[in-house]
A and B are shown apart, each in its own frame.
Chain A
Amino acid sequence: MARTVILGAGIAGHTAALHLRRMLGKEHEVVVVAPNSKWNWIPSNIWVGVGQMSVKQVTFPLAPIYKRKGIEFHQALGIEIHPEGSPTVKRPHVSVKYTDPARAGQVANLEYDFLINATGPKLNFGATPGLGPDGHTWSVCTAGHAVETAKAFEDVVAKLKAGQHQTLLIGMGHGTCTCQGAAFEYTFNVEHELVKEGVRDNADVIYITNENQLGDFGMDGMNFGHKDQIIPSQTFTESLFHERGVKAILSAHIEKVEPGVAFYEQVDGTKNSQAFDFAMLLPPFRGVDMKAFDANDNDITAEVFAPSGFMKVDADYTAKPYEEWKASDWPKTYQSVKYDNVWAAGIAFAPPHQMSRPRTSPNGTVIAPAPPRTGMPSGVIGRAVAQSIAERIKHGAQGRVHTASMADMGAACIASAGKGWRTGQAAAMTVFPIIPDKEKYGELGRDTKETYGEIGLSAHWMKVMLHYLFIYKAKARPFWYLIPE
């Protein structure tokens, strides 16, 4: 009998849990630890944030799904890992603190044979003073945040209808943010709603970003093959901004936010401010605050986790300049650098470096988009890790180690630009591989036949279809496993 504990029930953790349960006999235990009672299809939070979907449409309770599938569920937060055991508990274990109202605050030790760290990111609003729902800006990072943001947006629309001019600032709340795609989507959904409400003319919509140019998306930009042409994602994105009248502030690090004004520095060192009536600014991510200890209770956190708080895995973490980055720097198996029965999946693994060229202002401020790890790679990684563990359980050390390098993996991204069966619009983008590989694909770094972008109503329909498809899959309905990650 083997016991696998999975910390986190986001896309990577939940995918790994369902696949492990499907691949292993009932004599093996699959345990999920997650602080939230509900699963959230995060890509649709942007629609909650403009009042076009309810929280109920993007979330569902995890406990009934896990009960039906025979997965042990603890609504708790992982706080410590003890991969060698401890003086009091000899076997490897994780210490968790319950968030379940029935056991809130209680601490327990959960023993494991295999551990998957799929804790996702900590939303680091604290990195920028005044950022976030506890400060002066809104967020769509969680369904709860998004519903509050929708109420604030509704107020903005009401003021516009009353004839008041409004400035809406949307984007990145720090120079090291990721998820530019989500901010892009929210920007254009807001713009779309303002047009629908007949109040667009009286509103300024401004996108603020740490990207050096539009269309970078934290991926060093893309080059879309289109018939006989190569269209840079910069041109593709600037065209949409021009068409929809959205202004932008580029290469920016927001230093602080005060009520109604964001203070920022740009990569040339100049410092400016932007007044706003409504701001939705995403926070930077870091790893969750988890500690690691050896058998004697010595703190080994720095050996297991990178300074960013993400777990170190089989990547090449040697510090090197942008010009020397290689696709092979990126991890393949996601096994911990220190323990071969511990993996990190999804956002929880420490990337070796960014994908976009990092820049520093003359004042020493780092303005460097962090690499995105969207749903598709997170799901694929979660499944590969589950397969590796199932192989180890069934065949011991001879079991096949599955790989899922983002340097060999493509991704599809549907970025919504407005909701509506007849009026909706989205940008459908495919990229292959996710990590640029100049050795294999030349200076552009990617296969331009497989890297493609298109804007239209059809892409919106795809986004809606994926919403229902992935929620169906996450609910583990019949034949869920036939739906790819």
Chain B
Amino acid sequence: MSVLETFPDAPVPTEKELKARKNVLLQFVRFVALNLKMVAMINKAHH
């Protein structure tokens, strides 16, 4: 018999957050922001 964990106390995203994660316009903004963040990270990695 296995020991399964289910994490009932973990925070779950609100409805608003779940919608935001799929909102194309908002996610496009996040896409640009993430790219800038990654570029900064890459610059640090290639010093």
User: Interface readout for B1-25 with A: 1 if CB under 8 Å, 0 if not?
Assistant: 1111111101111000000111110
Chain A residues 447 to 462 lying within 8 A of chain B, measured CB to CB, are: 450, 452, 454-459, 461-462
Stretch of A32-40, A96-104, A425-433 that contacts chain B: A425-433
In the complex the two chains form, is B2's CB within 8 Å of A462's CB?
no
In the complex the two chains form, is B3's CB within 8 Å of A272's CB?
yes
Query: Once bound together, how far apart are the Cα atoms of A241 and B6, in whole Å?
Result: 8
Chain B residues contacting A459 (CB-CB under 8 Å) are: 30, 34
A residues contacting the other copy or chain, number (CB 8 A) = 44
Stretch of A9-17, A185-193, A243-251 that contacts chain B: A243-251
In the complex the two chains form, is B27's CB within 8 Å of A247's CB?
no
In the complex the two chains form, is A432's CB within 8 Å of B41's CB?
yes
In the complex the two chains form, is A249's CB within 8 Å of B22's CB?
no
Given the known A-B contacts A235-B11, A248-B4, A249-B5, are A457 and B37 also in contact in the complex, defined by CB atoms under 8 Å? Answer: no
Chain B residues contacting A411 (CB-CB under 8 Å) are: 41, 45
Chain A residues contacting B37 (CB-CB under 8 Å) are: 430, 452
Chain B residues contacting A422 (CB-CB under 8 Å) are: 22, 24
Query: Once bound together, how far apart are the Cα atoms of A457 and B12, in whole Å?
Result: 17
Given the known A-B contacts A412-B42, A430-B41, are A239 and B13 also in contact in the complex, defined by CB atoms under 8 Å? Answer: yes
User: Interface readout for A276-317 with B: 1 if CB under 8 Å, 0 if not?
Assistant: 000000000000000000000000000000000000000000
Query: Once bound together, how far apart are the Cα atoms of A458 and B29, in whole Å?
Result: 8
Chain A residues contacting B27 (CB-CB under 8 Å) are: 456-458, 461
In the complex the two chains form, is B47's CB within 8 Å of A408's CB?
yes
Chain B residues contacting A408 (CB-CB under 8 Å) are: 47
Q: Closest CB-CB distance, B34 to chain A, in whole Å?
A: 5
Query: Once bound together, how far apart are the Cα atoms of A264 and B23, in whole Å?
Result: 42
Query: Once bound together, how far apart are the Cα atoms of A410 and B42, in whole Å?
Result: 7
Query: Once bound together, how far apart are the Cα atoms of A423 and B27, in whole Å?
Result: 12
In the complex the two chains form, is A432's CB within 8 Å of B24's CB?
no
Chain B residues contacting A243 (CB-CB under 8 Å) are: 12-13
In the complex the two chains form, is A458's CB within 8 Å of B34's CB?
yes
A274 within 8 A of B: yes
Chain B residues contacting A270 (CB-CB under 8 Å) are: 3
Chain A residues contacting B1 (CB-CB under 8 Å) are: 272-273
In the complex the two chains form, is B34's CB within 8 Å of A242's CB?
no
Given the known A-B contacts A422-B22, A456-B20, A462-B31, are A450 and B44 also in contact in the complex, defined by CB atoms under 8 Å? Answer: yes
Some 28 contacts from A to B, beta carbons below 8 A apart, are A206-B2, A206-B4, A238-B10, A242-B10, A247-B4, A247-B6, A248-B5, A264-B2, A272-B1, A274-B2, A377-B45, A380-B46, A408-B47, A411-B41, A412-B38, A423-B22, A425-B21, A430-B41, A432-B44, A450-B44, A452-B37, A454-B34, A456-B20, A457-B23, A458-B34, A461-B27, A484-B42, A484-B46
Q: Which 7 A-B pairs have the closest CB atoms?
A: A238-B10, A458-B31, A458-B30, A274-B2, A456-B21, A242-B10, A458-B27
